[in-house]
Amino acid sequence: MKGYTIWFTGLSGSGKTTIANRLSEILRSRGINLVLLDGDIVRKTLSKDLGYTKEERDENITRVVHACQLITKNGVLNLACVISPTKKIRDYARSLIKNLIEIYVKCPIEICEKRDAKGYYAKVRSGEMDHFVGINIPYEEPDNPELILNTNKETVEESVNKLLRELENRKII
């Protein structure tokens, strides 16, 4: 198998991890080996020394990019779930990762805030937390992702099936 990185970008609460987890279950059941890099887990392991300033956020994503580059270069499918809020950082990922498929997990911030499974939005609104993408740090929507998943209009299964069709059409799986 040729290595690819499926790069999920979108606001916190948009559904990146939920979709990637379901996709990984399906692909693993088909015998496809893959690596799933979730932004929250990366923060607790690979980037546990970093905070949330702009510089530290950029360093975190840079580390994810380099990990994805190695995984992809070694012929493994990689699912990376990271907010990656700027065009610049996503362009950087594309420049280093030869086979990158960008998936924009699109969802209005009002819906993401209602989902707020991790309580981040509530912490930001109460003043307990700052430096949060979508509230006081801008999120730049991707200009030309390979696929947009509208998670406020699609079920998880509909989004996953849409993504599976895209990967099959591109002969990635």
Q: Average the pLDDT over 38-62 and give the result.
A: 86
pLDDT of residue 46: 85
Query: Whole-angstrom Cα distance, residue 76 to residue 6?
Result: 11
What's the pTM?
Answer: 0.93
Strand (E) or helix (H) holding 63: helix 54-73
156, 19 contact by CB (below 8 A): yes
- 57, containing H or E segment: helix 54-73
Identify the band that residue 43 occupies on the pLDDT scale cut at 50, 70 and 90.
confident
Q: Report yes or no: 173 and 118 within 8 Å, Cβ to Cβ.
A: no
Q: Please give the structure tokens belonging to residue 172.
A: 């990635």
Report the alpha-carbon distance of residue 146 to residue 122 in Å, rounded: 32
- Percent of the chain's residues with pLDDT above 70: 99
Q: Which two tokens stand for residue 159?
A: 């989004």
Active centre residues (catalytic) = 84
- pLDDT at residue 117 in the model: 79
- List C-alpha distances in Å: 148 to 97, 101, 114, 139, 167: 20, 11, 21, 15, 13
Instruction: Collapse the DSSP code of 157 into the 3-class scheme (helix H, G, I; strand E, B; otherwise coil) and give the result.
Output: helix
Q: Given pLDDT bands bounded at 50, 70 and 90, which one contains residue 41?
A: confident
Residue 26 has pLDDT above 90, yes or no: yes
Domains of the chain, first to last = 4-169 (3.40.50.300)
Partnered with residue 36 across adjacent β-strands are: 79
Between these two residues, 157 and 133, which has the higher pLDDT value?
Answer: 157
Binned at pLDDT 50, 70 and 90, residue 29 comes out as: very high
Cβ atoms within 10 Å, residue 26: 14
Summarised one tens digit per residue, pLDDT across range 96-124 is 999 999 999 999 999 999 998 788 888 88
Lowest mean pLDDT among 1-10, 46-55, 84-93: 46-55
Q: With 80 as the cut, is the pLDDT of residue 54 above it?
A: no
